Amino acid sequence: MPELPEVETVRRGLAPVLEGQRIIRAQVNRPDLRWPFPRDMADRLSGRTVLRLWRRSKYILADLDSGETLLVHLGMSGRMTVSGDPLGRFLHDHPAAQKHDHVVLHIGNGARITFNDPRRFGAMDLMPSDTASRHRLLAGLGPEPLGNDFHEPGLIDAFHGRMSPVKSVLLDQKTVAGLGNIYVCEALFRARLSPRRKAGRIAAPRVAELVPIIRQVLTEAIAAGGSSLRDFRQTDGELGYFQHRFDVYGREDQACRTPRCPATIRRIVQSGRSSFYCPQCQR
Q: Is 3 a catalytic residue?
A: yes
Catalytic residue among 3, 6, 8, 186: 3
Catalytic residue among 2, 5, 143, 165: 2
Q: Is 174 a catalytic residue?
A: no
Q: Which residues pair with 25 in a beta bridge?
A: 106
- Give the whole-angstrom CA distance, residue 218 versus residue 3: 10
φ, ψ for residue 270, nearest 5 deg? -125, 120
CA distances from 28 to 19, 21, 150, 211 (A): 21, 19, 37, 41
CA distances from 9 to 90, 126, 220, 257 (A): 15, 22, 12, 27
- Give the whole-angstrom CA distance, residue 239 versus residue 220: 15
What are the start-end ranges of the H helices in 19-165?
A: 41-45, 152-159
Catalytic residue among 12, 25, 215, 273: 273
Q: Is 99 a catalytic residue?
A: no
CA distances from 217 to 133, 178, 214, 242 (A): 26, 13, 5, 10
Catalytic residue among 11, 48, 56, 58: 58
**Helix or strand holding residue 214 (H, E):** helix 204-223
DSSP state of 32: B
SS3 of 43-69: the string is HHHCCCEEEEEEEECCEEEEEECCCEE
Positive or negative torsion for Cα 231, 237, 241, 244: positive
245 with 222: CB under 8 angstroms?
Answer: no
Q: Which residues are catalytic?
A: 2-3, 58, 273
